[in-house]
Structure 1
């Protein structure tokens, strides 16, 4: 049988759907583990004056790193320590005010068991996530969080699949329950995500990227339309703002207004901007988030917004500025 013929006999979609079915059925049973032990774990972590030290080996270690990262980014100081490294000196970074979250599906991790006596000797609270509360780690833990699943998605029952997904979800449940208990806000989240798209979305404000001063295309209401068009072309923001000498907004003239003027067959050389401008103009405050300004642009089908305080023009923000900032 050729490789191509062999591939035709393998039902990839059927296999994939079976994995989803096994894992979904198992995850539906996790609700029973959100119990008093879960509440106790949340309370202890919430009032912890130190850090949450997450430990795990193998696949549990990979999941543990993700849980520690999620905790840290949602207001709970946490980091991952590999049990092997802990046994060679890194255990010294753990203090009596910390909490250890030990992840081991069997609860019998050979790498973690030698650390337990030292953790207990320092009176460090130990939370264990395993499928067996009667395991050696489960028995000595102060709190046991069960992650038992009926079966792995692996047909041999060997590769950690469903069990690691369950562990990750219980970790997410811990993190979000604590986030809500702390009244963790978007601003708090932004402080721990200063870089990347998430950070920019939650922290970048209109005042950070708006055009100001000589970059603003504006003109007095007694100016001619042709002069306004030249200013629009020069400043390249697709509009011009009509203001008085104190920058009080009287109206705007945009690309859409120009189309309307052409339909009206107005003499472009003699017309005054005041005769063809649109009163007002869509405006935002300088302190709003750039992502909110973008959403307003989308809702109103415009590419620029006036930035104003009351009726005084402060600047202009264009959709190109938002795209350049990497917010969208």
Structure 2
């Protein structure tokens, strides 16, 4: 077994070699207009992008399809071997095909390409070899030049698959930005999990599940305590006679009050005497993730929720914890 220092060196060597390959792919994008023309053609599609490959390239194709779909470009995966056994039927006249192959000269690719050409759909070749059979037959060449694999025997697909993966990401992001695909679009396609919740869950979705503790400015201490205890949010809003927000009283304000008022005066204490004025607020239509950011920035556990500056309720850190946003 190799020494620990040797293992570290091997790991670093692989990463640096693959990073260098990606730099080469970046330079290749600007050498011809194929990448730009490919993006423009896909932007004008009425159909889908069908991505195909065999072996490790098939895995890269599957990942590319997932990235395209999640960023607003409808895509399908077609395994190159299955294509000649019926899957070729998934390609429709308005589609676009991307075929991934390092060499561009494998037997399966040479069988598949003529069948794709008969379909009459535009085709891009994501290849390392610009002179390969696949590249020559394609309408667009997405060039991912790779001198050798990170495998010491130059056999296992490593550097080549990394380069192809990175070029696929470049294609997807170029399409995303060209379409003006934004966070709201992303949210519609990612409604599940924590990521989805950060993108679509609004403050009002959570605050409406809570009670809305509130007292008037002249409410006596006893009423303030009962409102806080009864609504179980650890705070209450203080409103004026017109319902405008003046401040909040929290559990912490009640504790601090005990050091500021003599026991004999407690019966005369009113909400305005102990409230925190100008509390931190957030509008109902803002994202819940923004509520979390404000709480963390100010080291507090709840925010007053407003709608057009009118009191609506509270959102608490526990609400965000329950939704998995923390």
TM-score by length of 2: 0.93
Q: CA 1:224–1:9 in 2, change beyond 3 Å: closer, same or farther?
A: closer
Secondary structure class of the residue paired with 1:97: coil
CA deviations on 1:189-222 (whole Å, 9 max, x unpaired) are 0111111111111101011111467x11211222
What's 1:3 paired with? none
CA–CA distance in structure 1, aligned partners of residues 249 and 271 of structure 2: 8
Shift of 1:310: 3.1
1:14 to 2:14 alignment? no
Give the one of 4, 8, 25 matched to 2:20: 25
Q: 1:45 aligns with which of 42, 47, 58?
A: 42
Name the SS of the counterpart of 1:138 in structure 2.
helix
Which residue pairs with 1:119 in the alignment?
116
* Structure 1 gap segments, 5+ residues each: 1-5
2:149 to 152, 156, 180: 152
Question: Any residues of structure 2 matched to 1:197-208 within 5 Å, and which?
Answer: 197-208=194-205
CA contact (8 A) 1:55 1:80 kept: yes
| 1:132 correspondence with 2:129 | yes
Superposition deviation, residue 324 in structure 1: 0.7
Q: Alpha carbons of 1:298 and 1:144: their partners in 2 closer, same or farther (altered >3 Å)?
A: same
Pairing 1:78–2:75 present: yes
- Provide, for residues 90-117 of structure 1, a one-character-per-residue CA deviation record: whole Å limited to 9, x for no partner: 1111111100000000102322322222
What SS does the corresponding residue of 1:149 show, helix, strand or coil?
coil
How many aligned positions are there?
A: 322
Give the structure 2 partner of residue 227 of structure 1: 223
Q: 2:29 — aligned with what?
A: 34
Whether the 8 Å contact between 1:306 and 1:313 is mirrored in structure 2 is yes
The corresponding residue for 1:174 is: 171
Give the match for residue 242 of structure 1: 238
- Say whether 1:165 aligns with 2:149: no
TM-score normalized by structure 1?
A: 0.93
Q: Partner residue of 1:294? A: 292
Report if the CA contact (8 A) 1:26-1:151 is conserved: no
- Alpha-carbon distance between aligned partners in 1 of 2:40 and 2:252, rounded to the nearest angstrom: 58
Provide, for residues 133-158 of structure 1, a one-character-per-residue CA deviation record: whole Å limited to 9, x for no partner.
21111110011111111221111111
CA contact (8 A) 2:213 2:313 kept: no
Deviation at 1:8, TM superposition (A): 4.2
Work out whether residues 24 and 145 of structure 2, in 8 Å CA contact, stay in contact via their aligned partners in 1.
no
Structure 2: distance between partners of 1:9 and 1:273? 66
Q: Please identify runs of 4+ aligned residues in structure 1 that moved more than 3 A.
A: 6-10, 244-247, 265-270
Deviations along 1:152-206, one digit per CA (max 9) or x if unpaired, are 1111111111111110111111111111100001000011111111111110101
Report Cα offsets for 1:243-274 as digits up to 9, x if no partner.
Answer: 24664322211233234323313434431112
Q: Show the counterpart of 2:283.
A: 285
Match of 1:252 in 2: 248
Partner of 1:87: 84
Q: Does 1:217 align with 2:201?
A: no
Q: Which moved more, 1:261-270 or 1:69-78?
A: 261-270
CA RMSD in angstroms, aligned pairs only: 1.8
Mapped contact 1:212–1:314 kept (Cα < 8 A): no
